[in-house]
Amino acid sequence: MNTFDEIYAKIKEYPTIIIHRHISPDPDAIGSQAGLARAIKLAFPDKKVLCAGGDVGDLGWINTMDDVKDGDYQGALAITVDTADTPRVSDQRFKTADFVIKMDHHPNVDPYGVMNYVDENKPAASEIIADFILTEKLPLTAEVAYPIFAGIVGDTGRFMYPETSAHTFEIAAQLSKTGIDTNEICRNVSEVSLQEARLQNAVLNLMHVDPSGAAYATISQKQLKELGVTTEQANVTVSTPGRIKGIKAWNVFVELADGTYRVHYRSKGPVINQLAQNHNGGGHALASGAKAKDQAEVKQIFDELIAVTKQYRSDHD
Ligand code: AMP
């Protein structure tokens, strides 16, 4: 693994720096990308610093993307944030940059950067970016702190998930001292539209709970269409089953237009990322994603989830 100093030396060296994040972005993807870009721009006003990637959906309140031209990659440094593997990088032109640096907090299944800084014990890529900014003494203004705080709030579930540490709170305090409206950020991260809330409701109504504490719900294309909710917006339902006492691990299956399924895994203890890896996916120990080609694979995935949940209970109860 490379050091912050080595990464900073590369940033100093390149006149153009293009920052990428993952597809289907969440607040941590957009927040870590924007925070790093803004801090570099403030430290080096003469450099061209661009944020690349597809549609940001409802996250325009954190940041919007720049119009990045093919020619911008010539002699440029590309930095990816919050993105575990090459196919998940939003805008594959990052491969055409002169030099690639990966900064991430997922298990390092694909160290695709020429330099890689990966710390999977961090709850958010945004916390790594805050550490980088503070270590290398880049400017930490309110415009830098705002997206980083949003990323940390998003990926820690408002400081609830287990990787949240004393250091996370120390970073949050430093960000807060820049004068950002933390209340507004937390509200923006957690607010949903009425249609999204109705879909959350549907997930609770449809949820099947196994005696082991494993649970699942499937959202069909028909339901999405009826409620006027996109596949991306269906992400708001993923943490909903976790509010129920007794549920230890769960899947939310979202049917896609081609009849296959996007699979979400979440857990309060049983390790689920190895299960996700068996179905074209991956992620964190307690939050992963995968794909299922049909109902038979959906059933297999849930059977596997029941098995690890049972095992976890027999080890811990
Ligand atoms: P999601 O359920 O889509 O919110 O994803 C949860 C976590 O799993 C995120 O950290 C993703 O980066 C990761 N993840 C989701 N889908 C995939 C996939 N197909 N391959 C690898 N990692 C994934």
- For the chain of 317 residues, list the mean pLDDT of each consecutive stretch of 10: 97 98 96 98 98 95 98 98 97 98 96 98 98 98 98 96 96 98 97 94 96 97 93 91 96 97 97 96 93 98 98 92
Query: 62 C-alpha to center of ligand 1: Å?
Result: 21
CA distance 278 to 165: 30
Atom 11 (ligand 1): residue with closest C-alpha? Answer: 283
* Contact between 275 and 291 (Cβ < 8 Å): no
pLDDT at position 233: 87
Query: 252 C-alpha to center of ligand 1: Å?
Result: 12
pLDDT at position 317: 79
Q: Is the shortest distance between the CB of 288 and ligand 1 below 6 Å?
A: yes
Give the bridge partners for 250, in sequence order. 215, 266
Local structure of 109: helix, strand or coil:
coil
Atom 6 (ligand 1): residue with closest C-alpha? Answer: 288
Query: 288 C-alpha to center of ligand 1: Å?
Result: 5
Residue 293 in tokens: 């080609």
Q: Is the shortest distance between the CB of 281 and ligand 1 below 6 Å?
A: yes
Atom 13 (ligand 1): residue with closest C-alpha? Answer: 283
DSSP string computed for 148-192:
HHHHHHHHTTTTTSTT--HHHHHHHHHHHTTT--HHHHHHHHH--
Atom 1 (ligand 1): residue with closest C-alpha? Answer: 289
Q: Is the shortest distance between the CB of 264 and ligand 1 below 6 Å?
A: yes
CA distance 315 to 64: 46
Atom of ligand 1 nearest to the CA of 22: 12
CA distance 221 to 122: 35
pTM here is 0.91
